[in-house]
Structure 1
Amino acid sequence: MPKEILFDEEVVLRRATELFWTRGYNATSMDELTRITGLSRSSIYNSFGGKHALFMRCLRYYLGDQQRQLHELAGKVKPVVPRIRAAFQYAVEEILADRMRKGCMMVNTTTEMVNQDKDIAAVSAENMEQMEGIFANWISEGQAAREISTAFNPQMLARHLFNTYSGLKVSGKTRPDRKTLEDLVTVALSVLEGPGAS
């Protein structure tokens, strides 16, 4: 008979994600995890499989939330170029609101661990593919509606957008001022204009 779960998994994941995001995987101790989640070591091992397994759950939780925001935006803003601008503006506002300059959890994790951990490398590649897929679908939609230039194919533009989107989080850790971030967005999105766009 499976053991009854006596805690709110959503709350635990949210708290653990915030801790890992702030401190990084290697700098986060089990003592800190037990304190922030309210779970004992045995509960963490029994429920999640240990520190590494919990971290992987937290990373997917974080990435799922990031992608959910983009999908919600697609439902709210129908014209594609304003939708893309809104996504990048949301990222800028999120960066400016982050007083601790945490950056992007996925970018931080990739920098810290991608060459040491095959599970992290797999999630990083999967996230890149999924995010580029979202942007590529938007680009295809925008090109079909003649909102976006056809000078580059959707995959090329999607890679450019994903690279800029991730890079904003890095820039925000070192130069978190609005003008710098919005200048980066303006130049990055200028590639959407040109032949094929009306």
Structure 2
Amino acid sequence: MARMQAFERDVVIRAARMVFWRVGYDGASIPELEQATGLSRSSLYNTFSSKRGLFDAAVQSYLDELIRPRLAPLQAEVVAPGALLTYLTGLRDAFENLQSMPAAYGCMLINTASTPLAEDEHVRQVIADYKRELHSALTRGLDAAIHDEACGEGANPEVLTALVVAGLAIARVDPREAAGFVSSAIRIVRNQVGSIDTERGPASSS
């Protein structure tokens, strides 16, 4: 029974996540969340204490299920030389696909950064932590690519992070411009490290 309850809770959170991602925290009404999750207002409040509690659970789900799996190759113990370009080209392709969630709705966290909810200390910290995690992942990916190509310094992880965040921020308004920001990051990396096979795995230690 406990496992079934946990599973149902995850399903509810994912359904609510879609609502928050699509219309934001302020735009998500309780009736809309009831309809999306199939739960009554009292059930939602009994489980998550408040609309804000449900939002916090949705944000954690967004990070754990959608963001971190994509960053995982850049956070591995051994980062493949092509991992950074694989991540960037995947993000660019998502923006260019107008039917994708990133193209349609951008980034749930970056969107929240421009709303009144970002004044909340906890939310502000979650967003800041996400940006640091993204920067760290991009830095490790760039280090792996540069070391593999025996190149000197040049590409700047701060610039790459800024371009990715800019793309995430503008995506729901202009996904093609978002793709352009990420394309700029790709060009910077390619100019620095040359052509890297994005399908290549990490170099063998043997």
**TM-score interval w.r.t. the shorter chain?**
0.7 to 0.9
- In structure 2, which of residues 164, 181, 184 is the aligned counterpart of residue 187 of structure 1? 184
- 1:144 counterpart residue number: 147
- 1:128 counterpart residue number: 131
User: After superposition, where does 1:22-37 map in structure 2 within 5 Å?
Assistant: 22-37=22-37
User: After superposition, where does 1:90-109 map in structure 2 within 5 Å?
Assistant: 90-95=90-95, 96=97, 97-98=99-100, 101-109=104-112
2:111, 2:180 → 1: CA distance?
A: 23
TM-score (norm 2): 0.76
1:94 positional shift:
2.2
- 1:173 counterpart residue number: 172
1:54 positional shift:
0.9
2:46, 2:159 → 1: CA distance?
A: 42
1:112 positional shift:
1.0
Name the count of aligned residue pairs.
Answer: 187
Higher relative contact order (CA 8 A, sep 6+): 2
Tell me which amino acid in the other structure corresponds to 2:174.
Answer: R
1:34, 1:7 → 2: CA distance?
A: 18
2:85, 2:150 → 1: CA distance?
A: 13
1:145 positional shift:
2.2
1:133 positional shift:
1.4
1:84, 1:161 → 2: CA distance?
A: 10
1:148 positional shift:
5.3
Deviations 1:30-76 (A, max 9, x none): 1211111011222212222211011011112112221212215777x
For the residue of structure 2 that corresponds to 1:20, the secondary structure is helix
1:21, 1:88 → 2: CA distance?
A: 22
- What stretches of structure 2 of length at least 5 have no aligned partner? 195-206
Tell me which amino acid in the other structure corresponds to 2:188.
Answer: V
Tell me which amino acid in the other structure corresponds to 1:60.
Answer: Q
Tell me which amino acid in the other structure corresponds to 1:84.
Answer: L
- 2:163 counterpart residue number: 164
Are 1:12 and 2:12 an aligned pair?
A: yes
For the residue of structure 1 that corresponds to 2:26, the secondary structure is coil
2:29, 2:186 → 1: CA distance?
A: 41
Identity of aligned residues (%): 22
- What stretches of structure 1 of length at least 5 have no aligned partner? none
Deviations 1:102-146 (A, max 9, x none): 111111111113542111101001111111111122222223323
2:191, 2:6 → 1: CA distance?
A: 57
1:159, 1:55 → 2: CA distance?
A: 29
Of 25-34 and 15-24, more deviation after overlay is shown by 25-34
1:14, 1:36 → 2: CA distance?
A: 10
User: After superposition, where does 1:76-95 map in structure 2 within 5 Å?
Assistant: 79-80=80-81, 82-95=82-95
2:178, 2:128 → 1: CA distance?
A: 25
